[in-house]
Every structure is written in C-alpha cells, then in structure tokens.
Amino acid sequence: MQSLQVSLGVRSYPIHIGNPGGDSFQSAFFDAIPKSSKVIVVHDASVKEFADGIARSLNPVSGKVPLLAVESGETSKSIEQLDRLWKSMLALKADRQSVLVAVGGGVIGDLVGFLASTWNRGVRFVQVPTTLLAMVDSSVGGKTGINLPEAKNVIGAFWQPHMVWIDVSSLNTLPDREYRSGLAEVIKYGVILDEAFFERLEEQSSSILERNAVAVTEIVRRSCELKAHVVAEDEYETKGLRAILNYGHTFGHAIEALAEYGTYLHGEAISIGMTMAGNLALALGRWTERDLERQTKLFARFGLPTQIASSIAGRFSQAAMLESMILDKKTSHGRLHLILPTRIGHVETVVDAPLNAIQDAIDACIS
C-alpha cells in the first residue's frame, strides 16, 4: 500500500491506497485506533461481500463486528436513514469509545461520518471508500452530512476520519457509469491544480478506462495528495483555498436538484457544471477556447456529459437554475461565489459574475 498523511495536527490521519489483500486492513486499523469498544461497520447494501471481508478481518480482535446495511443511492443521505442508524446504534449499545467503519461510496461516507459526529457528541470513524468518486474526493477531508429534499449537503459537520483505506480492487465490480462519474472529480483536480496531471489523464486515458490497476492507483494517489494538501491548508473552508474544490459544483448541485436527485450521478452533474463554469470563464475572457476544448474533450473521452439531456431540458429554466444556485451553500450574503479557471491547472474565486453571462453559460449546455 502507498500511504499519505492528511496533516491536521492532532487530527492528522493516514490515507492508504493500493491493492492489499490479506489481513492488512486489520493492522492498519489498529495502528490508527489502538483501543476502542464496539466496532460497527455501516455499508452500502451493494458491497455486502466486501464489507463482510472488512468486518471479518477485525473479528479476531474486536469480537463479532456487527454490520448495518444502507440502501444505495443519494436518497439515503436523509434524516430518516440517520434516525434509523441512531436507533441501531442504541440497540447495539454503542458508546463514546465505539468506532464506525463506513464501507461504500460518497453517500455512505457522508452519512456515516455525520452519524459519527453526532453519536455521543462524536465518535471515531474510518472511511473505506469503494467508488472512485469517494476514493478521490468525499472520503478525504472530513465533510459529512445529509440532504434536504430541496438542497444538497445543507445539514452536516466537519468530522475527520481516523484513517482512509482505499483498496482499488473494490473498483473491479463498480458499474461502468459510476466509474466514469468518479473520473469527473479526477479531471477537476487537473483543471484546478495540476496541469501535468491533466496531461497524464489525456495521455493515459485508455489504461484509465480499462481500469489498469497501476493507472488507477496513480490517479487515486495524485487526487488524494492534491486534496490532502488543500484540506491541510484550509480545513474549514474559511481561507478561500478549499473552495477551489467546488469548481463546477454550484452549477452541478443545481443540476442535481432540478433533475431530481438520482437522475444524474454526482460526477455527471459536475462535468456539466464544470462545462458551464468553463463557458462562463471563456465569456469573461478568463481562459482560452483551447483550454475549454481540452476540458470538453477529456470529458467526452471518459464518456461524461457536457450537455443537459434534451428529455429533461424543460425543467432547466434559467430562473430555476439561478434560484437553486443561490440556495447552494457556496453563496455568502446572497452573493454568488463561483470558481472559474484562468488556465488548465489554476482557478480563482469570482464574486458577482454578471447574471447575463451566467445565464448564457447555462443556456449553452441546454439543447
């Protein structure tokens, strides 16, 4: 396994990435958490077998580790699921020394992280992401939370895990559409921070699409490294740096909400959102046609959408998009903060971009 550190003083933690096999989870777990009471694995119902393996590897030391399954899908990031898990924790007699292990994609990581932050005023947890999206983004950095039907991620807490364990072999069974969706966040890191990485994605697109283990480990490692650096500098998103990770997300979250959660996978909405942001950057003269074209081409290469599907275009009026974007938490005093690129490898925060330019940038993605 390759290991990185998220450097946050006493809340620092390791991210292990690779193709481990055997009992290596157990030793990494006890290195990160030498003492605990009950360990509880909460997993996405679709990765039961993998979660069983994680629980089994802890059984010899932690007694029989209970597993709680959560139905797949964004709709599980709800108060109802949280309530159900709180009650299960009570039934299992979980206490302050209990540890939660989240096995699944971003939904599970966000839900279980929030569960950990609220149980007994906060217990330790470990992230075991099994989707590419969760490996490169949501499992790292401590953002946890649930959705309201009207708005995504508006209820939540910063709660850092004690370890992130990334076994890239869990991607082997990930449906193709979900794998590609994760690649949107990988492309994002290239656009916002690292042109050389973006170039490698262009050059190695075939091995990445074939899920070659070496190529996948490399893109996951670099994405985590870039994210770990940003999080270490600006854990609570108060200094302006962490906000760059939201590139395409203000547009993307509005797309997810208007299309109704579940129509688009997160990465699909984000690739359309990054295209809208790229259109806007071009209209404002902030980056070049060539840069936008490179971004669009890479999305296409990875089978990611850059246009709203015509079958649902009717739901996307400019007014509805703008209202939803203002509702998104990345506004401050009602003023829209957008992350826009200046070139591949660099972005800036733009406050109060002209509304007509934003509307045109949205329109260009609605056929």
Q: Which of 180, 246, 268, 294 is catalytic?
A: 246
Q: Copy the structure tokens of residue 319.
A: 């007014």
Q: CA 363 to CA 207: how far, in whole Å?
A: 34
Query: Given 16, 43, 227, 294, which residue is catalytic?
Result: 227
- Is 93 catalytic? The answer is no
Of 57 and 250, the one with the shorter C-beta distance to ligand GLY is 250
Q: Which of 74, 225, 235, 237 is catalytic?
A: 237
State the minimum distance, in angstroms, from the CB of residue 118 to ligand GLY: 19
Q: How far is the CB of 340 from ligand GLY (least distance, A)?
A: 17
Catalytic site includes residue 227: yes
Token pair belonging to 335: 């003023």
**Annotated catalytic residue, options 185, 225, 256, 268:** 185
Alpha-carbon separation of residue 243 from 90, 302, 332 (angstroms): 36, 25, 12
Is residue 220 within 8 Å of 136, Cβ to Cβ? Answer: yes
CB atoms < 10 A from the CB of 293, how many? 12
* Contacts of 276 by beta carbon, 8 Å cutoff, 6+ apart: 248, 251, 361, 362, 364, 365
For ligand GLY, the closer CB: 270 or 366: 270
* Closest C-alpha to 281, from 196, 193, 348, 194: 348
What is the number of the residue whose Cβ is closest to ligand GLY? 245
- CA separation for the pair 280, 156 (Å, rounded): 30
Quote the least distance from Cβ 237 to ligand GLY, whole Å.
6
Please report how close the Cβ of residue 288 comes to ligand GLY at its closest, in angstroms: 26
Our answer to whether residue 242 is catalytic in this structure is yes
55 vs 245, beta carbon nearer ligand GLY? 245
Q: Site residues (CB under 6 A) for ligand GLY?
A: 137, 141, 143, 242, 245
Least separation in angstroms between CB 192 and ligand GLY? 11
Distance CA 103, CA 126 (A): 9
Strands (E), 205-326: none
Instruction: Output 193 or 245, the one with its CB closest to ligand GLY.
Output: 245
- Rounded to a whole number of angstroms, the minimum distance from the CB of residue 32 to ligand GLY is 20
Give CA separation, 64 vs 67, 226, 243, in Å: 9, 37, 41
Residue 162 appears among annotated catalytic residues: no
Q: Which helix (H) or strand (E) holds 185?
A: helix 176-193
Determine which one of 124, 242, 286, 294 is catalytic: 242
Q: Given the complex with ligand GLY, which of 84 and 229 has the nearer CB atom?
A: 229
Closer of 143 and 286 to ligand GLY (Cβ)? 143
Nearer to ligand GLY, 58 or 231 (CB): 231
Close Cβ partners of 6 (under 8 Å, ≥ 6 residues apart) = 12, 13, 14, 15, 140, 141, 160, 164, 228, 231, 232
CA distances from 266 to 10, 64, 77, 184 (A): 32, 35, 13, 9
Catalytic residue among 266, 268, 279, 286: 266
246 part of the active site: yes
Half-sphere exposure of 22 (CA within 13 A, CB side): 7
Judge whether 117 and 159 are in contact, CB under 8 Å: yes
Catalytic residue among 16, 124, 143, 221: 143
- As measured in angstroms, the least distance from the Cβ of 141 to ligand GLY is 4
Q: Is 121 an active-site residue? A: yes
Tell me whether residue 153 is one of the annotated catalytic residues.
no
Active-site residue flag, 237? yes
Residue 149 has what DSSP assignment? T
Residues annotated as catalytic are 121, 143, 185, 227, 237, 242, 246, 249, 253, 266
